[in-house]
A and B are shown apart, each in its own frame.
Chain A
């Protein structure tokens, strides 16, 4: 086998091997993202604590996580965390990757949530108070239903950005497609086809997602648009008449 030229034979030989990692890659993406979505809320909550020193601490923590590379964080979680005294814990490759990517991206997601919440005007809070809503109902019935939908396209963008960072997990041994391709390459002294396959898989998965998110964005922008809604209502009315 010649390692310098493109070979379809190698391509089809590597394809099933690389594909074996697909479920791990998808699993990593979904798990990390769910963790990021969840932890994003935690950041919003922590940063709303009125006690200044705590507020400062969490703001700084968030800033710190955001301004250090995810690769460094993954290495820290996988390699440095186990040897720390007292709190030292050993995590599997998969868990390290999910926690590392999830927490890293939760800082961005948290900022998006915060922007969404701040985009809801003061008048909405006041109207909710005037109608005597409980604190919980203010959030769940009035504020979040308005804050969340406009953030969906941005959150979608981060999903794609994060998806493209998932190959980093191979550096801590999580056996996704990148890991499998790398393995294949080192065993056969030929990386060209295997790595190309990884690129194609990412393209095939992320391009349609990007298109979908753009559509979602248009839909969100016209959410309370007069004409769009009137049309919808007319259709409902028509349905009621039939």
Chain B
């Protein structure tokens, strides 16, 4: 197997006195689809937020494509990364949020175009075409000039995915992307994720409560419990062959 594109080495994270992550070791390989499941408050979201540089780890290392994300070398010593270093690494990572976080002052086409143009300094015409294609792919080709406030939650989330995809990340993070949606809108969003998982070769990490969906598309499932990875393996390993009682208890609650 190839080298991992992301590696967590004994990563801890505390908020104040509360230690949410108590030593995470994890490898994510190129094109691998990883689902993180577990009870609320187990630190699932924190794992991917640290990779997106939205939270900094209290200790440990996160290596992205061979580069230490949160530390950099300065005069022969490893010191805390500055913004310039973070920028150089996080360009390969994209994220979709629970609450969409679309830019309300831009049309959905502008939402998709702004980062490739302003951040990557790409050609405006090419970016425009690519953005339109991407919005068509998520089924919103007829809404290009609408503002986010005119869309349903499911549509907003599909725009958010298109916006992340036009940046061509090597790693895509999905942070409970269906949790804020009305139940009848969940399906359309999952359909898009399934399409991305099937046709794109980027690594994907999904934090989710959509258990059946996660198990369906994931190459690897992590069960996070009380700040540690309590169980990991292929979907069938984790679901069917695990003897972890807390995992079985957790799953049984989803199976009714």
Contact = CB atoms under 8 A, between A and B. Distances in A.
Given A129-B53, A226-B149, A135 B105 contact: no
Contact of B104 (A134, A135, A224): A224
Contacts of A126: 52, 54, 97, 101
B105 A127 contact: no
B94 interface: yes
Given A131-B119, A135-B83, 17 more contacts: A123-B99, A123-B101, A126-B54, A129-B52, A130-B164, A131-B114, A133-B115, A133-B118, A134-B87, A141-B118, A146-B104, A226-B150, A229-B146, A229-B147, A229-B149, A233-B146, A236-B145
Interface string B97-124: 1011111110000000011001100000
Contacts of A67: none
Interface string A51-62: 000000000000
A225 B53 CA distance: 33
Contacts of A224: 104-105, 147, 149
Given A129-B53, A130-B95, A133-B118, A233 B145 contact: yes
Contact of B101 (A127, A133, A134, A230): A127
Contacts of A236: 145
Nearest to A237: B145
A146 B105 contact: yes
Contacts of A233: 145-146
User: Which of A126, A137, A229, A236 has the most CB atoms of chain B within a 10 A radius of its CB?
Assistant: A126
Interface in A97-115: none
A194 to B, nearest CB: 49
A132 B90 contact: yes
A233 B93 CA distance: 34
12 contacts: A130-B94, A131-B115, A132-B87, A132-B91, A133-B119, A134-B87, A137-B119, A146-B103, A224-B105, A224-B147, A226-B150, A233-B145
B163 interface: yes
A137 B146 contact: no
A141 B114 contact: yes
B193 interface: no
A145 B105 contact: yes
A123 B104 contact: no
Contacts of B164: 130-131
Interface residues of A, number: 24
B167 interface: yes
Interface string B47-62: 0000011100000000
B140 to A, nearest CB: 15
Question: Could you say which interface size class chain B belongs to?
Answer: 20 to 34
A124 interface: yes
A233 B149 CA distance: 13
Interface in B160-204: 163-164, 167
Nearest to B99: A123
Most buried by B among A132, A225, A229: A132
A133 B167 CA distance: 12
Contacts of B163: 131
Among B54, B87, B118, chain A packs the most CB atoms within 10 A around the CB of B118
B91 A130 contact: no
Contacts of A225: 149
B169 to A, nearest CB: 9
A220 interface: no
Contacts of B90: 129-130, 132
A146 B106 CA distance: 10
Contacts of B100: 123
A224 B104 CA distance: 8
Contact of A131 (B54, B146, B150, B167): B167
Contacts of B146: 229, 233
Given A132-B90, A132-B115, A135-B83, A127 B97 contact: yes
- Interface-central residue, A126, A130, A132, A229, by most chain B CB under 10 Å: A130
A229 B105 contact: no
The 8 closest A-B pairs by CB, nearest first: A127-B101, A131-B115, A123-B101, A130-B95, A224-B149, A132-B119, A145-B105, A132-B91
Interface string B65-76: 000000000000
A124 B103 contact: yes
A135 to B, nearest CB: 7
Nearest to B117: A141
A81 interface: no
A134 B22 CA distance: 32
